[in-house]
A and B are shown apart, each in its own frame.
Chain A
Amino acid sequence: MGFASPWALIGLIALPLLWWLHRRARPRGDRVFSAFFLVSGADADGERGGRLRAPWLLAARMAAVAALVVAAAGPTGQSARGVVVIATGPLPPGDWLEATIIRAGRPPSVVEGETVAPVLGPPDLFGALALAEAVAPGARRVFAPATEPPTRIDGAGAALDGDAVVVSAALTRPADGPRPRLRIGDATRPLTPRPGDHYLRGALPPGPALITLDGAAPWPLCIPDASPLRVAEAGWPPAVEAVLDALPHVVRVPAADAEWRPGVELASTPGRALFAPAVTGFTFADRPTREAAPLWFAADLPPPGAVARRWRPLRGGEPILHAADEVVVDRTTGLHGATRRFGFDPADTDLIETAGWPVLWLDALDADRSARGRCVIHRAGRPLRVAAHGPVAVLDPLGRRRVAEPHDGVAVIDGLDALGHATLTAGGVEVHVAVVPDASAEAIAPTEAIGAIERPPPPRRAGWFIAAALLLAAVALGGRRALAGVAAALAIAGLVDVRWGTGRADGQIVVAVDASGSMPAGETLAAADRLAATLGETARWVTAGRDGVRVERPRLQDFGGPTAHRPLLAAAAREAGEGGAIVLLSDGRAPDGPAAVGPPVFAVPVRAERPDARVVDARALRLGDRVFARATLATDQPVAGELVLGEARVEVALRPDRLQTVQAVQPDQRASALVARVEVAADRQPANDSRPIPIEGDVPPEAVVVGAGAASWATAAGLVAITVPAAHLAEAGSRLAQARAMWIHDQPAGAVPAGVAQRIRHWVAAGGVLVLSGRTRAFGPGGWRGTPLDELSPLRSDPRPPGVGRVGAALLLDRSGSIASEAGGIGTEGIGQLAGAVAAGLRPIDRLAVLGFGGAVEVLLPPTALSDLRPDALPVPTIARGGTRLAPALDRARALLGPLPVEVRVAVLVGDGRVADGEAAIERAAALAAEGIRVLAVLVGVDPDPAVFTALADATDGAVVRPRPDALRVDVAGAVHAEASDAEGNGGPVAAEAGWPGRVGGLPPPVDARVRVAARDGARVLARVAGEPLLAEWSVGRGRVVALATDAWALDHEQWASLLAPAVAPRPREARISVEGDRLVYRGPPTDPPPGALTLRGPDGVHTGAWRLTGPGTAEAPLPPGPVAILDASAASSSGAVLDTVVRPPPAELRETGVDPGALALQAALTDGAVLDPAALDDPTTVTTIRASLGGTGGFDPAPLAALLALLIALADAARWAGYRFRRSRHS
Chain B
Amino acid sequence: MSAEPAIDGELLALCDRFSLWLRQGGGLAVRGRPLPGRALPGLDFEGFAEYAPGREVRHVDWTLYARTKRLYVREFADEGAGLLAVLLDASGSMAIGAPPKFALAQRLASVLAFAGLHELHEVVVGVLHAGRAVWLPPAVGVDRASAALRFLGRFAPEGATDLAAFGDLPVRGARGDAVVISDFLDPHGADRALATLGALGFRVDLCRISAAGEFELPPPGAAVRDPESGRWRPAPTGPARARLTAKIEAHRAALVDAARRHDALLVDVDAAEPTPAALERLLRAIGATRGR
Inter-subunit contact A37/B187 (CB<8 Å) = yes
Inter-subunit contact B226/A37 (CB<8 Å) = yes
Inter-subunit contact A1227/B232 (CB<8 Å) = no
Inter-subunit contact B222/A1227 (CB<8 Å) = no
A30 adjacent to chain B (CB < 8 Å): yes
Inter-subunit contact A36/B221 (CB<8 Å) = no
Inter-subunit contact A38/B248 (CB<8 Å) = yes
A34 adjacent to chain B (CB < 8 Å): yes
Q: Which of A29, A36, A42, A1225 interacts with B219 by CB under 8 Å? A: A29
B1 adjacent to chain A (CB < 8 Å): yes
Inter-subunit contact B227/A32 (CB<8 Å) = yes
Inter-subunit contact B236/A29 (CB<8 Å) = no
Q: What are the residues of chain A within 8 A of B215 when measuring CB–CB?
A: 33-35
Q: Which of A28, A30, A1225 interacts with B224 by CB under 8 Å? A: A30
Q: Which of A30, A42, A46, A1225 interacts with B223 by CB under 8 Å? A: A30
Inter-subunit contact A39/B244 (CB<8 Å) = yes
Complexed CA–CA distance, A34 and B235 (Å): 13
Q: What are the residues of chain A within 8 A of B227 when measuring CB–CB?
A: 32-34, 36
Q: Which of B183, B225, B236 interacts with A32 by CB under 8 Å? A: B225
- Residue-wise interface mask of A (21-32) relative to B, using a CB-CB cutoff of 8 A (1 in contact, 0 not): 000001111111
- Residue-wise interface mask of A (1-37) relative to B, using a CB-CB cutoff of 8 A (1 in contact, 0 not): 0000000000000000000000000111111111111
Q: What are the residues of chain A within 8 A of B170 when measuring CB–CB?
A: none
Inter-subunit contact B244/A38 (CB<8 Å) = yes
Q: What are the residues of chain A within 8 A of B221 when measuring CB–CB?
A: 27, 29
Q: Which residue of B lies closest to A34 (CB)?
A: B93
Q: What are the residues of chain B within 8 A of A41 when measuring CB–CB?
A: 233
Complexed CA–CA distance, A462 and B282 (Å): 73
A51 adjacent to chain B (CB < 8 Å): yes
Q: Which residue of B lies closest to A35 (CB)?
A: B248
Interface of chain B: mostly helix, strand, loop or mixed? loop
Compute the total of residue contacts between A and B using a CB distance below 8 Å: 106
Inter-subunit contact B247/A36 (CB<8 Å) = no
Inter-subunit contact B222/A36 (CB<8 Å) = no
Complexed CA–CA distance, A501 and B14 (Å): 74
B277 adjacent to chain A (CB < 8 Å): no
Q: What are the residues of chain B within 8 A of A1228 when measuring CB–CB?
A: 130
A45 adjacent to chain B (CB < 8 Å): yes
Inter-subunit contact A30/B225 (CB<8 Å) = yes
A1226 adjacent to chain B (CB < 8 Å): yes
Inter-subunit contact A51/B234 (CB<8 Å) = yes
Inter-subunit contact A1227/B243 (CB<8 Å) = no
B266 adjacent to chain A (CB < 8 Å): no
With both chains docked as a complex, state the minimum distance between the C-beta of B49 and any C-beta of chain A, in angstroms.
41
Complexed CA–CA distance, A45 and B247 (Å): 18
With both chains docked as a complex, state the minimum distance between the C-beta of B210 and any C-beta of chain A, in angstroms.
9
Inter-subunit contact B185/A39 (CB<8 Å) = no
Q: What are the residues of chain B within 8 A of A187 when measuring CB–CB?
A: none
Q: What are the residues of chain B within 8 A of A34 when measuring CB–CB?
A: 93, 96, 183, 185, 211, 214-215, 227
Q: What are the residues of chain B within 8 A of A28 when measuring CB–CB?
A: 222
Inter-subunit contact B234/A44 (CB<8 Å) = yes
Complexed CA–CA distance, A30 and B223 (Å): 4
B205 adjacent to chain A (CB < 8 Å): no
Inter-subunit contact A29/B244 (CB<8 Å) = no
Q: What are the residues of chain B within 8 A of A43 when measuring CB–CB?
A: 233, 236, 240, 243-244
Q: Which residue of B lies closest to A33 (CB)?
A: B224
Give A202-255 interface residues, CB cut-off 8 Å to B: none
Q: Which residue of A lies closest to B241 (CB)?
A: A43
Q: What are the residues of chain B within 8 A of A1227 when measuring CB–CB?
A: 1-2, 129-130, 155-156, 158
Give B143-189 interface residues, CB cut-off 8 Å to A: 155-156, 158, 183, 185, 187
Q: Which residue of A lies closest to B154 (CB)?
A: A1227
Inter-subunit contact B234/A33 (CB<8 Å) = no
Q: Which residue of B lies closest to A26 (CB)?
A: B232
Q: Please report the total number of B residues contacting A with Cβ < 8 Å.
A: 42
With both chains docked as a complex, state the minimum distance between the C-beta of A280 and any C-beta of chain B, in angstroms.
94
Inter-subunit contact A31/B247 (CB<8 Å) = no
Inter-subunit contact A36/B220 (CB<8 Å) = no
Give B81-102 interface residues, CB cut-off 8 Å to A: 93, 95-96
B25 adjacent to chain A (CB < 8 Å): no
Q: What are the residues of chain A within 8 A of B232 when measuring CB–CB?
A: 26-27, 30
B79 adjacent to chain A (CB < 8 Å): no
Q: Which of A26, A30, A44, A1226 interacts with B236 by CB under 8 Å? A: A44
Q: What are the residues of chain A within 8 A of B1 when measuring CB–CB?
A: 1227
Inter-subunit contact B234/A31 (CB<8 Å) = no
Complexed CA–CA distance, A31 and B183 (Å): 18
Complexed CA–CA distance, A31 and B235 (Å): 9
Complexed CA–CA distance, A45 and B240 (Å): 9
Of listed B129, B156, B232, B251, residue having the most chain A CB within 10 A: B232
Q: Which residue of B lies closest to A24 (CB)?
A: B232
Q: What are the residues of chain B within 8 A of A42 when measuring CB–CB?
A: 240
With both chains docked as a complex, state the minimum distance between the C-beta of B244 and any C-beta of chain A, in angstroms.
6
Inter-subunit contact A26/B158 (CB<8 Å) = no
Q: What are the residues of chain B within 8 A of A32 when measuring CB–CB?
A: 95-96, 224-227
B196 adjacent to chain A (CB < 8 Å): no
Complexed CA–CA distance, A30 and B234 (Å): 8
Provided the pairs A27-B221, A38-B247 are in contact, do residues A44 and B214 lie with their beta carbons within 8 angstroms? no
Inter-subunit contact A29/B234 (CB<8 Å) = no
Give B194-217 interface residues, CB cut-off 8 Å to A: 211, 214-215, 217
Q: Which of A30, A45, A51, A1226 interacts with B220 by CB under 8 Å? A: A45
With both chains docked as a complex, state the minimum distance between the C-beta of B173 and any C-beta of chain A, in angstroms.
33
Complexed CA–CA distance, A1202 and B180 (Å): 58
Q: What are the residues of chain B within 8 A of A29 when measuring CB–CB?
A: 218-219, 221-223
Complexed CA–CA distance, A1227 and B231 (Å): 19
Complexed CA–CA distance, A1226 and B225 (Å): 19
Q: What are the residues of chain A within 8 A of B233 when measuring CB–CB?
A: 36, 39, 41, 43-44
Of listed B158, B223, B229, B243, residue having the most chain A CB within 10 A: B223
Q: What are the residues of chain A within 8 A of B243 when measuring CB–CB?
A: 43
With both chains docked as a complex, state the minimum distance between the C-beta of A44 and any C-beta of chain B, in angstroms.
5
With both chains docked as a complex, state the minimum distance between the C-beta of B45 and any C-beta of chain A, in angstroms.
47
Q: What are the residues of chain B within 8 A of A1225 when measuring CB–CB?
A: 158
Provided the pairs A43-B240, A45-B236 are in contact, do residues A31 and B223 lie with their beta carbons within 8 angstroms? yes
Give A1201-1228 interface residues, CB cut-off 8 Å to B: 1225-1228
Complexed CA–CA distance, A1225 and B158 (Å): 9
Complexed CA–CA distance, A834 and B222 (Å): 149
Complexed CA–CA distance, A41 and B215 (Å): 18
B275 adjacent to chain A (CB < 8 Å): no
Q: What are the residues of chain B within 8 A of A45 when measuring CB–CB?
A: 220, 234-237, 240
Q: What are the residues of chain B within 8 A of A38 when measuring CB–CB?
A: 187, 244, 247-248, 251
- Residue-wise interface mask of B (239-257) relative to A, using a CB-CB cutoff of 8 A (1 in contact, 0 not): 0100110011001000000
Complexed CA–CA distance, A33 and B247 (Å): 14
Inter-subunit contact A33/B240 (CB<8 Å) = no
Q: What are the residues of chain A within 8 A of B191 when measuring CB–CB?
A: none
Complexed CA–CA distance, A33 and B185 (Å): 11
Q: What are the residues of chain A within 8 A of B183 when measuring CB–CB?
A: 34
B228 adjacent to chain A (CB < 8 Å): yes
Q: What are the residues of chain A within 8 A of B155 when measuring CB–CB?
A: 1227
Complexed CA–CA distance, A41 and B236 (Å): 9
Q: Which residue of A lies closest to B216 (CB)?
A: A31
Give A439-493 interface residues, CB cut-off 8 Å to B: none
Inter-subunit contact B93/A27 (CB<8 Å) = no
Provided the pairs A30-B218, A1225-B158 are in contact, do residues A36 and B244 lie with their beta carbons within 8 angstroms? no
Name the 7 nearest CB pairs between A and B, nearest first. Answer: A36-B226, A29-B222, A30-B223, A33-B224, A43-B240, A37-B187, A31-B218
Known: A26-B225, A45-B235. 17 other contacts (CB 8 A): A26-B223, A26-B232, A27-B221, A30-B232, A31-B225, A32-B95, A32-B96, A32-B225, A35-B248, A36-B228, A36-B233, A43-B243, A44-B236, A45-B240, A51-B234, A1225-B158, A1228-B130
Measured CB to CB, the residues of A under 8 A from B are 26-39, 41-46, 51, 1225-1228
- Report 12 cross-chain contacts, Cβ distance below 8 Å, ordered by A residue: A29-B219, A31-B235, A32-B96, A32-B224, A32-B225, A33-B218, A33-B226, A34-B96, A35-B251, A39-B244, A45-B240, A1227-B1
